[in-house]
Structure 1
Amino acid sequence: MSGAVSPATPVLAVGPTLFTGDLRPRLLAALSGTLYFLGFAGFDVWPLAFVAIVPLLLALEGQTPKKAAQLGLICGTAMNLGGFYWLLTMLKTFSGFPTALCLVFTLIVCAFQGGRLALTGWLYGRARARGWGMGPYRYLVFGGAFVAGELVYPVLFPWYFGASVHQVPMFTQVADLGGPVLIGLVLLAFNAAIAEWLIAKLERRGPHKRVLQGGFGITLASVLYGLLRIHQTDARVAEAPALHVGVVQGNLGLMQKREDPNEGLRRHKRLTAELKQKGVELVVWSESSVTFAVPEEITNNFMRDRVAGSLGIPSIFGGVLFRVDPDRERWYNVALAADAKGEVQSRYDKHYLLMFGEYLPLGDTFPILYKWSPNSGKFTSGTDVKPLVVETGGKKHNVTALICYEDILPGFTNDAVRVGDPELLVNITNDAWFGDSTEPWEHLALAKFRAIEHRRYLVRSTNSGVSAIIDPVGRTVAQTKTFEAATADATVHYLRSTTVYELIGDKLWYMWAFGAIVIAFRARKGKETT
């Protein structure tokens, strides 16, 4: 019978909204997205991260799951359009498509990535409508939905809300307990306390004291833990073996690297000679700094004779290798470690290839796509995460290498560290195709957390910046500017440390996210109907 409701079908219970009509909630969601990207790395108005989610929490109050998802999408899309505006430049560089088409793709990608917060809003709306998260517990439900968005939703360029405070070490040290997700949850707790105070004002009631105490108390506890861990880590560093390391930033244009690899090699050798005169014991070059296409079987001879043999110090550098298999050619984006004589000691193949830049989705199935996108590469992923081995001071040391945006993947880095047991982290990358934008600074900010999570130095060499050396508490001890040929050097220390995050990773957060998903589909007993 039309309009009948089965007794087994729950009627969703939705509380009152704070605002009449749709305009103000949408404006609040857009405001939240704007505050999010302004407070995020790149723009770096970091105090905004402590209030950025407040407007979204106000807008979501009492909304149906559908409207909550729409508001989340508005917030997420606004954040991506402002924070990742450089996607347009990247797509133009990689694909070779007309600007108008790249603009359409940029809008699509930003809306898709904004779906992360749409998922958060939808899960939160469904859980609230099914009777979960009443009173002060609504913020626990929102936290689970927020974690689900950060961990479960697929994105082209991963990011974490917690990266907003990358410049403030006292807020970031909890990363060795729970990674960037935990930092984001600390920020979220403060946002929840502010939101609860405002919601209580609008509803003309007293705020739930547990929310205020929890939000401000969690933030204070995080700061105290941070100050303690900074002190402890600095003490360990002072006792660890030292190494004078340098990074070379060649600043070759994208096409210049391919068209004139000899100039790139000359530039890197000249800058390395300057570092050697300063007493550097290990030099790191950027991703594909050696742009000759080298057959895999002659790797050692070529790299010794043409590249590393004349440096006179151990080196880590990026290269491009290939081999011809019966079915097709296979190309690899690699990091190589050579000793002071130029002999290649170890190799690491990049695992996470950049979509559109190093491969095209469905490109192997539809080869014509590579004709349509001539600037896209056709690389093969690596198969293991064994460490590079470098010899300095007469001793061999394990070094975990991360290529390009692998350094913003905490789970992948966790796996590599567990396998390699390294004493140093190295990242080689090339952000030139994003242009003079906020992307290189965002990339660096996201990478910093790998040093904190594993309490090791991170040495980062990029083609066009930002090259940097990060200490185990996330402080930048040396860095370059963008888009200039430059070097940076500093004394680092070989360290080994096992952290809580290294042991458990994001398991706890996945459990919380799973719980948020479950309650979004299961009504709370006794709360099914209005």
Structure 2
Amino acid sequence: MERIAEAIMLSWGGKRILLAFGAGALFVMALPPFNFFAVLFVSFPVLVWLLDGASGPADAGFLGRLRPAFATGWWFGFGYFVAGLWWLGNALLVEGDSFAWALPFAVLGLPAVLALFYGVSTALARLLWSDGLGRIAALSAAFGLGEWARGYFFTGFPWNAIGYAAMPAPLMMQSAELVGIFGMSALTVFVFSAPALVGTRRGAVAGILAALVLFSAHVGYGWYALDRLDTTDLQPSKAVVRIVQPAIGQSAKWDMAERERIFAKLLQLSAVPPREGKPRPTHVVWPETALPFLLTENPGALSRIADMLQVGQTLVTGAVRFEDGVGGAPPRYYNTIYVIDDEGQIIGSADKAHLVPFGEYLPFETLLRRYGLEPIAETFGGFSAADRRGLLELPGGLGAIPLICYEAIFPDLSHVSDGRGTLLLNVTNDTWYGNTPGPYQHLRQAQLRAVEVRLPLVRAANSGISAVVDAGGRIVASMGLGESGVFDVDLPPGAGDFSYIKNRQFNFGLIIVIMLGTALWSRRRKRQGLD
């Protein structure tokens, strides 16, 4: 182990770049659909040893001394994001003639930008670097802060935060209730970096012991939390939810000639009788932008929906909502969830608040449109963001917290300010990404939102993966990627306690303080010659 560590520390040039890039790319094997989290015991020790040898010349100035550490983290992040997000390019090929030119920017450009967060993290960690356990703590704190920043800066894009790699199954998801995804990211780095101490000996016993305690506590709390959910007398819901997964091809979705066929398929699937002896669904859920037209342009659509619904049933569907411009302004379009009752009346709606940059809207629109750029979802000229978010009231006393598409990756969006809510409602259209890891990664992140707020998740995806998840993150029922059909599920009970939100924020801060304190203490001892 010591020889391997020394060889990695002393590597330089192209070999060092390849090691950092490869360690980051290997990391992706810990994510869905692979879930082989043991690779982290390779990726992070390699990163630690690379950083051990990443000190700049003493006379290079402050930034010059940090440049090698930044470059190491950047190449590690670049490998991770290229291997983990390559499938984004699939969305550009749906309309190949229009967006194929942008493929390198999606597959390489976005990872290059996201890797900056990891470069800054490793540079920050290198400021507090020492020979023993302290450097592991410094790296843990720096990555925790880096992932938190990635979740908020430049509209935020916390996709595949490091902590998801340590949560491949519900038993290992429960700690997110206590520390959130960013706290889990910091702890994941600490636990899986600890083996690096064996290669350099200093602090190995204390580091490995601390990692074992943390990992054991992680699994132990998972067992305790799931047992608590299973033995607590939770108020059962009387709702029976039907998820409709139509598997409509993205190229056909807004084809004028296909709209009637698509709408008829949605109505037909929704009207399928329940299995013998099973109750009929009380709520039917269609995916994001399932309606292939504007309701205002198809006045008969609501009547046909009313004819399909039985008395007491409710349809919840994704759709595009149109709003006239004010004072000569152009019309506005919203990515919306509609609630429609059995008489064909719209009784509720919620608009998407967090739009996808370059996908649903164009940042710096006036400037970039001059150069011929447009959002990928350009069918209606792009979308506008909701002015506010709120609870979506559903018949049957249900309060749905709306999460449209990738809003499910943002922890702050999985609750509302008044602390109410009985379920998370995620409608999405992952058809853009085809049969790639993207839909699996998206589902995993939505699962974690259910754990964090202890509410069931109802998820309808156009071509998968649709699922109903209980408050423990366990998938109760699902439909595979690319399949077409319906499934009915009794809505699992929720144990929502939004007080955990403030606790998680405090606990995350406490983790960072402890890690930084350990790093500073270790560095001080090194300077005093005590280590």
| TM-score, normalised relative to structure 2 | 0.85
Show CA shifts across 1:431-454 (max 9, x none): 111122111111111111011001
Q: CA deviation at 1:470?
A: 0.9
SS of the residue 1:75 aligns to: helix
Show CA shifts across 1:287-310 (max 9, x none): 011121234xx99x7663243553
SS of the residue 2:318 aligns to: strand
Q: CA deviation at 1:372?
A: 5.8
Counterpart residue identity of residue 334, structure 1: T
**Cα distance in 2 for residues equivalent to 1:178 and 1:275:** 43
Q: 1:344 aligns with which of 325, 339, 346?
A: 346
**Cα distance in 2 for residues equivalent to 1:357 and 1:308:** 33
Bigger shift: 54-63 or 269-278? 269-278
Partner of 1:7: none
Partner of 1:322: 322
Bigger shift: 135-144 or 73-82? 135-144
Please give the residue correspondences for 1:51-62 in structure 2 after superposition, counting only pairs within 5 Å: 51-62=42-53
Partner of 1:284: 285
Q: CA deviation at 1:330?
A: 0.6
Please give the residue correspondences for 1:440-455 in structure 2 after superposition, counting only pairs within 5 Å: 440-455=439-454
Q: CA deviation at 1:495?
A: 2.2
Q: Percent identity?
A: 24
Show CA shifts across 1:91-139 (max 9, x none): 33368546454224421112112222212111112233xxxx5632222
**Cα distance in 1 for residues equivalent to 2:131 and 2:9:** 16
Q: 1:48 aligns with which of 16, 39, 43?
A: 39
Q: CA deviation at 1:251?
A: 1.1
SS of the residue 2:254 aligns to: helix
**Cα distance in 2 for residues equivalent to 1:144 and 1:367:** 40
- Residues 138 and 519, structure 2, Cα contact 8 Å, conserved in 1: no
Distance 1:92 1:510, change over 3 A: farther
Q: 1:148 aligns with which of 145, 150, 154?
A: 145
Bigger shift: 256-265 or 434-443? 256-265
Partner of 1:8: none
**Cα distance in 2 for residues equivalent to 1:37 and 1:385:** 33
Distance 1:86 1:455, change over 3 A: same
**Cα distance in 2 for residues equivalent to 1:494 and 1:339:** 23
Show CA shifts across 1:405-430 (max 9, x none): 0011112224x3x4361111110000
SS of the residue 1:263 aligns to: helix
Partner of 1:19: 10
**Cα distance in 2 for residues equivalent to 1:93 and 1:484:** 19
Q: CA deviation at 1:59?
A: 1.1
Residue 356, structure 1, aligned to residue 337, structure 2? no
**Cα distance in 2 for residues equivalent to 1:157 and 1:345:** 33
SS of the residue 2:94 aligns to: helix
Q: CA deviation at 1:145?
A: 0.5
Distance 1:26 1:518, change over 3 A: farther
Counterpart residue identity of residue 205, structure 2: K
Partner of 1:257: 253
**Cα distance in 1 for residues equivalent to 2:67 and 2:171:** 38
Q: 1:243 aligns with which of 239, 245, 252?
A: 239
- Residues 54 and 72, structure 2, Cα contact 8 Å, conserved in 1: no
Partner of 2:470: 471
Residue 109, structure 1, aligned to residue 110, structure 2? yes
**Cα distance in 1 for residues equivalent to 2:167 and 2:511:** 24
Partner of 2:67: 66
What are the ranges of 5 or more consecutive residues in structure 1 without an aligned counterpart?
Answer: 1-15, 201-205
Partner of 1:335: 337
Higher RCO, Cα 8 Å, sep 6+: 1
Counterpart residue identity of residue 68, structure 2: K
Please give the residue correspondences for 1:130-529 in structure 2 after superposition, counting only pairs within 5 Å: 135-153=132-150, 154=153, 156=157, 158-200=159-201, 207-236=203-232, 239-259=235-255, 260-274=258-272, 276=274, 278=278, 279-295=280-296, 304-312=302-310, 313-325=313-325, 326=327, 327-368=329-370, 376=378, 377-392=381-396, 396-414=397-415, 416=416, 418-419=417-418, 421-499=420-498, 501-506=500-505, 508-509=507-508
- Residues 469 and 478, structure 1, Cα contact 8 Å, conserved in 2: yes
**Cα distance in 2 for residues equivalent to 1:94 and 1:384:** 32
Q: CA deviation at 1:269?
A: 1.2
Q: CA deviation at 1:50?
A: 4.4
Show CA shifts across 1:182-235 (max 9, x none): 3333432321321111222xxxxx544221211110110111111000011122
- Residues 137 and 519, structure 2, Cα contact 8 Å, conserved in 1: no
Distance 1:371 1:61, change over 3 A: closer
Q: CA deviation at 1:52?
A: 3.0
Count of equivalent residues:
498
**Cα distance in 2 for residues equivalent to 1:103 and 1:187:** 31
**Cα distance in 1 for residues equivalent to 2:13 and 2:74:** 14
What are the ranges of 5 or more consecutive residues in structure 2 without an aligned counterpart?
Answer: 1-6, 56-65
**Cα distance in 1 for residues equivalent to 2:194 and 2:390:** 45
**Cα distance in 1 for residues equivalent to 2:85 and 2:30:** 13
- Residues 421 and 496, structure 1, Cα contact 8 Å, conserved in 2: no
Counterpart residue identity of residue 307, structure 1: I
Distance 1:38 1:374, change over 3 A: closer
Counterpart residue identity of residue 78, structure 1: G
When the two chains are superposed, the root-mean-square deviation of aligned CA atoms in Å is 3.3
SS of the residue 1:464 aligns to: coil
Partner of 1:39: 30
Q: CA deviation at 1:314?
A: 1.4
- Residues 405 and 443, structure 1, Cα contact 8 Å, conserved in 2: yes
Bigger shift: 449-458 or 244-253? 244-253
- Residues 32 and 54, structure 1, Cα contact 8 Å, conserved in 2: no
Distance 1:69 1:94, change over 3 A: farther
**Cα distance in 1 for residues equivalent to 2:466 and 2:260:** 22
- Residues 126 and 520, structure 1, Cα contact 8 Å, conserved in 2: no
